[in-house]
Structure 1
């Protein structure tokens, strides 16, 4: 045992990290070979090293499983065209953005903070709600290009939640999209103040959530000291919304949010019509 410990301690951390990086790069190269030059040339922006690494990480670094998942996602992207969705394409965006939106701050680890308020009733169809989620996921994916690990913290305010606030078919479809087409983006999912009735609903949800994603879920309660410490360790409380135990009580500013989303669209390079509107194929 002592020889084993010596052998482990002899390897410098820098060398170990370099070896891990080399192994990851070899796997990325292998996935590119399995995908084929035609597919990688078709979607060069999507099939970046960062995207392939993300799929590999989500599939336990299996090149075969990551390649299969990427091929399925490429097929879905051909049909859905998520990269063409812009802020102007979101139906009822002035209302829907108050239900789910990207915060104007990061957590202490530099991760995107995504806020959802299911108690606010949507005025959009299921199809349009999914479209809005995909639009946000595209922004997360763009941010993930510069991140080694998962890049998003998802906060959900369940204060006052009832069963009809979250239709199960919609949740199932959204979960499928996140797990299959945008894996490796969610770092932590915080469910804040869920009522007791949510426990039964959660048991059903767990049936179609992958174990890896389930492990990222944390239940927190704003009147619980332990929960407050979890939140305080992750966020600047002056920026965090009061619904999650922070001190930020400022109202949601739709004008500023719209401008931020338009800048994100420009950064993503989502195409536009000549009249200034998106050329998204989704309606």
Structure 2
């Protein structure tokens, strides 16, 4: 039996696998027809992350997931490509490392002192691109990543409070339970004042995942040796790897990933249309509007209702259409043959 610890109203409780599954199904019932329109964003793994982020409170998790789905419909993060954000990446202020931690988790390196643009929208767009790419490259048995934040060159003017607040909002509300650990490496003394301002933006669960590490502190440096193979870790973080960020090599890697992402999005759309064609023979056609994302959807729209605007079906994320390795490539669900969904869906 799989037991999950959860704190509700300050009291810790245990959830069995059956109880978890029941709550996941409750969320799906609240979402209503949205589950059919966006099945991959409402997978067990995805819904479970939202429930964990809200301590298994079904109503709060449902509201959170609705807002995330609405954001993905409007922002379309899976359509961002390297050429759209390459200018933001020139200094290496955010990039996916070419090594993993000892647990096999992806590593995102952030260097806020290397800020090179003034557009908050552009900065957030690049952050979202990096998150989507990191999730896309997670191993099949991983859901979370590690953030390494290097404070070299950081000053109070490096990042605005506005961007910091928006960053916390996006990462916590639209990518819940994606952070395993956030390491703040060598923050200067002046950062203490900044930290007091931004700390209220962080939820308690996020705050507990943040660790301060100083190169001249043996005890805190042990966090790095416990977490990383030092021969692979960059020297900027106390490792033995002298290689740093190489824009040209990184651009090549991102463009290759973009091609894979595009292929998966196209595949997702193809599967969606095939599935909808099959379902239309069995039941009345329905569609989901953005208005329904904002309201409680407990019933399907009536057949004589005014025909709403259709949602762009290409919002399905690339990673959501990956087939689970070492498993049969399809499962039967409601009479429809569908690819097994990779656990690392983007929501």
**What interval of TM-score do these two structures reach, taking the shorter chain for normalisation?**
0.7 to 0.9
Partner of residue 9, structure 1: none
Instruction: After TM superposition, give the deviation of residue 221 of structure 1 in Å.
Output: 0.4
- Sort the Cα spacing of 1:138 and 1:163 in 2 relative to 1 into closer, same or farther, 3 A: same
- Sort the Cα spacing of 1:32 and 1:144 in 2 relative to 1 into closer, same or farther, 3 A: farther
* Residue deviations 1:171-209 (CA, integer Å, cap 9, x gap): 111111111111110111100001111001101111111
* Residue deviations 1:193-248 (CA, integer Å, cap 9, x gap): 01111001101111111111111110000121112211000001111111111111
Structure 1 residues 159-168 or 209-218, which shifts more? 159-168
Find 1:48's aligned residue among 43, 46, 59: 43
Instruction: After TM superposition, give the deviation of residue 44 of structure 1 in Å.
Output: 2.5
Partner of residue 254, structure 2: 261
Q: Quick check: 1:161 aligned with 2:173?
A: no
Summarize the alignment of residues 41-80 of structure 1 with structure 2, pairs less than 5 Å apart.
Answer: 41-80=36-75
* Residue deviations 1:113-159 (CA, integer Å, cap 9, x gap): 010111113225111110011112223444568346x5111011113
Quote the Cα distance in structure 2 between the aligned partners of 1:266 and 1:50: 25
Quote the Cα distance in structure 2 between the aligned partners of 1:50 and 1:164: 39
Q: Quick check: 1:234 aligned with 2:230?
A: no
Quote the Cα distance in structure 1 between the aligned partners of 2:46 and 2:197: 30
- Sort the Cα spacing of 1:50 and 1:141 in 2 relative to 1 into closer, same or farther, 3 A: farther
8 Å CA contact retained: 2:88, 2:122:
no
Instruction: Tell me the secondary structure at the aligned position of residue 106 of structure 1.
Output: coil
Partner of residue 327, structure 2: none
Quote the Cα distance in structure 2 between the aligned partners of 1:147 and 1:173: 29
8 Å CA contact retained: 2:112, 2:150:
yes
Structure 1: unaligned runs, 5 residues or longer: 1-14, 273-278
Partner of residue 82, structure 2: 87
Q: Quick check: 1:31 aligned with 2:24?
A: no
Instruction: After TM superposition, give the deviation of residue 160 of structure 1 in Å.
Output: 3.2
TM-score normalised by structure 1 residue count: 0.83
Q: Which has the higher helix share?
A: 1
Partner of residue 216, structure 2: 223
Quote the Cα distance in structure 2 between the aligned partners of 1:143 and 1:24: 27
Quote the Cα distance in structure 1 between the aligned partners of 2:26 and 2:133: 27
Quote the Cα distance in structure 1 between the aligned partners of 2:43 and 2:255: 23
Quote the Cα distance in structure 2 between the aligned partners of 1:86 and 1:252: 19
8 Å CA contact retained: 1:240, 1:246:
yes
Summarize the alignment of residues 87-126 of structure 1 with structure 2, pairs less than 5 Å apart.
Answer: 87-96=82-91, 98-123=92-117, 125-126=119-120
8 Å CA contact retained: 2:90, 2:247:
no
Instruction: After TM superposition, give the deviation of residue 48 of structure 1 in Å.
Output: 2.2
Cα-Cα RMSD: 2.3
Summarize the alignment of residues 173-252 of structure 1 with structure 2, pairs less than 5 Å apart.
Answer: 173-252=166-245
Quote the Cα distance in structure 2 between the aligned partners of 1:262 and 1:22: 42
Instruction: After TM superposition, give the deviation of residue 266 of structure 1 in Å.
Output: 3.8
Instruction: Tell me the secondary structure at the aligned position of residue 95 of structure 2.
Output: strand
Structure 1 residues 235-244 or 133-142, which shifts more? 133-142
User: How many positions carry a matched residue from both structures?
Assistant: 257
- Sort the Cα spacing of 1:115 and 1:84 in 2 relative to 1 into closer, same or farther, 3 A: same
Find 1:20's aligned residue among 16, 21, 39: 16
